Amino acid sequence: QSALTQPASVSGSPGQSITISCTGTSSDIGGYNYVCWYQQPPGKAPKLMIYDVNNRPSGVSNRFSGSKSGNTASLAISGLQAEDEGDYYCSSFRSYGSSNTWVFGGGTRLTVL
Amino acid sequence: EVQLVESGGGLVQPGGSLRLSCAASGFTFSNYWMSWVRQTPGKGLEWVASINQDGSEQNYVDSVKGRFTISRDNAERSVYLQMNSLRVEDTAIYYCARDMRSPHWGQGTRLTVSS
C-alpha cells in the first residue's frame, strides 16, 4: 500500500481535460508545499512535470498545472494529446519523527482514448 | 546540462552486498541533497535514502534502515548506496536523484536479488 493514494487509472479523449488526485495526510501533503508530479513513459526514468505544488520546470507545457487543497494534491492536464499517455506519480515531503522522508503515490495510468 | 549516471547494479544472492554509484555532472554537486529512489518491477516508486550537502545527515526509509548506507564524495562528485543483507524484495531499478523538491533523475541501474 502506497503512502499517497492515487487513482489507478484515468482516461480522456484528445482535447479534453483530466485531473489526477493524490491524497495524503497532514504529515505530508497537508503540512508542506513540497509536492511533485512525474510523468513516466514506458521503460524510461520519471520526468518532473510539477514541483512545489504548482511550479513547472522549464520546458514543461503549460497544459500541465498543479494545485493542493488540504491533504489532497491534484495534477490537471488540459488539451489532452496522445503523447500525454503514460504513468503519473505524485510525491511529497513527509516529516516522520525526527527524519525527513519522501513518499510517493502508487501511480496513475493515463490513457488517451 | 545536468547528468546523473548510475552504475553498479547486477545480480546478487539473498544476503549479499552491493554498492551502487552515481556520478554527477553539469551542476555544483556540493550544493545539493542527493537521494536514491527505487522502482520495483511493474510497480511504483519508493524513496530509499537521502544525504545532505556535506554528508552529515542521512535519512532512510524504514525497510532499509540498518542494511543500506548512503554516502557521498563531493571531490569525486559522486553519491553511493552501500547495500548489505540484500533481500528478494530489494529487487528494483535504483535511480539517483538530485534534490527531491524538484528532482533531476538518472536513468537508473537494475538490481536483481535472487538465488
Q: Is A93 on the interface with B (CB under 8 A)?
A: yes
Residue A2 has a pLDDT of 59
- Give per-residue pLDDT as tens, B65-84: 999 999 999 999 999 999 99
**Residues of chain A contacting residue B46, judged by C-beta atoms under 8 Å apart:** 104
The whole-angstrom separation of Cα A22 and Cα B66 is: 30
**What is the percentage of chain B residues whose pLDDT exceeds 90?**
93
Could you count the other beta carbons within 10 Å of the beta carbon of residue A36?
A: 28
- Taking CA atoms, what residue in B is nearest to A92? B101
Give residues 40 to 69 of B whose Cβ lies within 8 Å of A. 44-47, 50, 59-61
More confident residue, A42 or A23: A23
Q: In the predicted model, is pLDDT for residue A1 greater than 60?
A: no
Q: Is A45 on the interface with B (CB under 8 A)?
A: yes
- Give per-residue pLDDT as tens, B6-22: 999 999 999 999 999 99
Which three-class secondary structure state does DSSP give residue A82? helix
Cβ–Cβ < 8 Å for A75, A64? yes
Q: In the predicted model, is pLDDT for residue A108 greater than 70?
A: yes
